[in-house]
Amino acid sequence: MIRILSILVGLFFTVALAWSLLTGLLNFELPHTVEHEFHEHPKELHLASDGAFGKFDRQQLQRGFQVYKEVCAACHSLRHVAFRDLAALGYNEAEVKAIAVGYQVDGIDPNTGEATTRVGMPTDYFPLAFPNDVAARAANNNAIPPDLSLMTKARHNGAAYVYSLLSGYQDPPAALPEDNRPGEGLYYNPYFANLNLAMAPPLNEGIVSFGDGTKSTVEQMSKDVAAFLVWTAEPKLEKRKQTGLPVLGFLLFATILGFLSYKSIWADKKKKKG
Ligand code: HEC
């Protein structure tokens, strides 16, 4: 009796669940918004650091750092990166020191203990672009320029997104409804989720001049700074890829070994049975 009852109760819940799933599915509709219609997925971007054997292209990272330093740093901080980390881009000790000295960081007056500033040292982190959020908003049409250290991890398809965003500013299409046109201090960019952002196009051809002779087109600078931001978000990427494969190899080896020992342990037991 109890058994029949519990089967009935179970059946009831199963039917109820199936019913709610079915009606949910039937009522499900993709929201069709203007943003949805005009938004574009990031352009394709291939970097040397892609793939299972990817390695950073240090020349490109140095160019990307130059773009960050000369353009983006005016508004965006990079607070998870210390100057000494730049050694990984191929700079020697003297070069790292020279870069650090070019920045003013927070310090303490040794005599009075009051807050002051001092020149940077290799162990310091990149200073903030604005002292606080209020100042950041005031200077940027009420938007805060986000920290870029982890940006390529924070956005879907991060590197390609940064590259597309920087090189993707354009005039709003004629078909764009009035409500979605960029207002005062906003700029149309179909790669940005809501189509208009408060960052003016930061790059113009020739705005930096690369030491290695690479032509500084907007495309090139966008790619280079995206590559650099892949490094800031995951400086240990090469190490991870280098250890990953041997670990997989070891696991495969251990699996085969396990299977073979299972076979040999049970081999004569099976024989006896037959
Ligand atoms: C004059 C200031 C300024 C400069 C220079 C600048 N940005 Fe921005 N950036 C902003 C502001 C403000 C926002 C926030 C925009 C918004 O939310 O509408 C932003 C947003 C971004 C975003 C985030 C977009 C998102 O999905 O939220 C990225 C990525 C970015 N900037 C990258 C860069 C890079 C790389 C450079 C250098 C080539 C750069 N920016 C130069 C002000 C600036």
Chain segment 228-269, per-residue pLDDT in tens: 999 999 999 999 998 988 899 999 999 999 999 999 998 887
Q: State residue 32's pLDDT score.
A: 76
Proportion of the chain above pLDDT 70, given as a percent = 97
162 lines ligand 1 (CB under 6 A): yes
Q: State residue 33's pLDDT score.
A: 84
197 lines ligand 1 (CB under 6 A): yes
CA dihedral for 92, 93, 99, 100, sign (positive or negative):
positive
Report the nearest-CA residue for atom 13 of ligand 1.
145
75 lines ligand 1 (CB under 6 A): yes
Summary mean pLDDT of the chain:
93
Domain positions in the chain: 34-81+126-238
Q: State residue 30's pLDDT score.
A: 66
- Please tell me the distance from the alpha carbon of residue 77 to that of residue 92, in angstroms, as a whole number: 23
Does 27 score more than 80 pLDDT?
A: no
143 lines ligand 1 (CB under 6 A): yes
The string of DSSP letters for 63-124 reads HHHHHHHHTGGGT---TT-BGGGGGGGT--HHHHHHHHHTSEEEEE-TTT--EEEEE--TTS
* Interval between CA 199 and ligand 1 midpoint (Å): 5
Q: State residue 273's pLDDT score.
A: 56
74 lines ligand 1 (CB under 6 A): yes
Determine which helix (DSSP H) or strand (DSSP E) holds 197, and give its type and residue range. Answer: strand 196-197
Does 4 score more than 70 pLDDT?
A: yes
For helices 158-167 and 218-233, the axis angle rounded to 10 degrees is: 150
| Tokens, residue 180 | 């979605």
Report the nearest-CA residue for atom 41 of ligand 1.
72
Residue 75: which of 10, 141, 120, 123 has the closest Cα?
Answer: 141
pLDDT tens per residue, range 207-219: 999 999 999 999 9
Q: State residue 34's pLDDT score.
A: 83
Mutation pick for ligand 1 pocket among 199, 220, 231 (CB with most ligand atoms within 8 Å): 199
Q: State residue 271's pLDDT score.
A: 67
Q: Which residues contact 199 (CB under 8 A, 6 or more apart)?
A: 75, 140, 143, 145, 187
Does 274 score more than 60 pLDDT?
A: no
CATH superfamily for domain 34-81+126-238: Cytochrome c-like domain (1.10.760.10)
The ligand 1 atom at the shortest distance from the C-alpha of residue 162 is: 29
Mutation pick for ligand 1 pocket among 75, 169, 188 (CB with most ligand atoms within 8 Å): 75
Does 153 score more than 70 pLDDT?
A: yes
233 lines ligand 1 (CB under 6 A): no
Report the nearest-CA residue for atom 33 of ligand 1.
72
Residues in the chain: 274
Q: What is the pTM of this model?
A: 0.84
Report the nearest-CA residue for atom 29 of ligand 1.
162
pLDDT tens per residue, range 106-149: 999 999 999 999 999 999 999 999 999 999 999 999 999 999 99
What integer is the mean pLDDT of 49-73?
A: 96
Does 203 score more than 80 pLDDT?
A: yes
* Interval between CA 71 and ligand 1 midpoint (Å): 10
